[in-house]
Amino acid sequence: MAEVTVFGAGIFGLSIAWECARRGAAVEVVDPFGIGAGSSGGLVGALAPHVPENWNPKKQGQFESLERAERFWAEVAEVGGVDPGYARTGRLQPVADDAALVLARAREVSAREVWRGRYHWRVVPEDAFPGLLPSPSGWLIHDTLSARMHPRRACAALAAAIRARGGRIGTEAAGGVAIEVWATGVAGLREVSEALGRQIGNGVKGQAALFRADLGTAPQLFAEALHIVPHGDGTVAIGSTSERDFDVPDTTDAQLDALIDKARRLCPPLADAPVTERWAGVRPRARSRAPMLGAHPLRPGAFIANGGFKIGFGIAPKVAELMADLVLDGTDAIPASFRVEESL
């Protein structure tokens, strides 16, 4: 049995640890701040695909991850006994005008090809989903590949599954010789940047909010760059901002107030719903804007998995597979756009 120590208990670290554990490795996860303490402890959980056109390896990797997610999270829930809040409920987007309608219909055709006919991207009349997302044109884009995820429950579910497979999760490493995987988010990007004397990634602050509103299994909504995600616990998450420059990483301000007002305007069921939580955190963004996977640039023999940014939860099943292949079997199937070298 291989021994693997994963530093970082966010979505990348926990997913990699789980995939290694399910393959029979002895695993420990180390994070001095606890499970999901960073940006993985947020609220939104929108697992949404890239636009189905101009296909490339990055989009293909995300598609494979979104497709695998249903099985991945079902097994996590079964082994650990904790519901991660996953459901493939789809997504709605408003169609702005006639030009956007022509483009949306063209993407119906390309989606059938690149999504292999398993999921659809269709233009539907607004009244197919009455009262949920008014559209200027009267038309909506409905895709069935998108899914929702409850970030905090997902981290808790992964931790439970890892422990059920005999893994250890703690604030300090147990010691001894182990294969190391560093999935330490913004702190890890900062460490590598400082050591190399150049920016290989940075943190981008995001603010989000949680409404008390039960929309059941309604699709998530994406309009005016805002994600509106109904969760299965009678809440709706909205977010988020993308702030390169900020003074305080974990406080909310008028920028979130503006998102809350926008959500109330866009989605009628939220018009009078109370806001129960405001959240802010900093997400790790690699220079390449894609996940950064492979050999650690500072630690010989160790590995790095970082740069989840906005797609961390959506790409996590694929990242876990790629990293477990590399760490346990020495099989390097990491796509070129995900490689560490792309950000160095």
Q: Which of 22, 25, 41 is nearest to 33 (CA)?
A: 41
Separation between Cα atoms, residue 135 and residue 72, nearest integer Å: 34
**pLDDT for the residue 290:** 92
Kindly state the tokens that stand for 311: 């797609």
Q: Which of 127, 137, 145 is nearest to 223 (CA)?
A: 137
Separation between Cα atoms, residue 136 and residue 168, nearest integer Å: 52
Kindly state the tokens that stand for 17: 């640890």
Neighbour tally for 332: CB within 10 Å:
12
Kindly state the tokens that stand for 204: 């981008």
Domains of the chain: 3-89+147-198+287-342 (3.50.50.60)
- One pLDDT digit (tens) per residue for the chain, 344 residues: 569 999 999 999 999 999 999 999 999 999 999 999 999 999 999 999 999 999 988 899 899 999 999 999 999 999 999 999 999 999 999 999 999 999 999 999 999 999 999 999 999 999 999 999 999 999 999 999 999 999 999 999 999 999 999 999 999 998 787 899 999 999 999 999 999 999 999 999 999 999 999 999 999 999 999 999 999 999 999 999 999 999 999 999 999 999 999 999 999 999 999 999 999 999 999 999 999 999 999 999 999 999 999 999 999 999 999 999 999 999 999 999 999 999 99
**pLDDT for the residue 1:** 56
H helices present in the chain, as ranges = 11-22, 57-80, 98-114, 151-164, 185-196, 254-266, 312-324
Q: What angle do CA 7, 81, 325 make, to 5 degrees?
A: 40
Separation between Cα atoms, residue 44 and residue 313, nearest integer Å: 10
């099943």: which residue's tokens? 317
């099985």: which residue's tokens? 71
Neighbour tally for 168: CB within 10 Å:
15
Query: What torsion, rounded to 10 degrees, do the Cα atoms 228, 229, 230, 231 define?
Result: -150
- DSSP assignment string, 149-173: --HHHHHHHHHHHHHHTT-EEESS-
3-state secondary structure of 100: helix
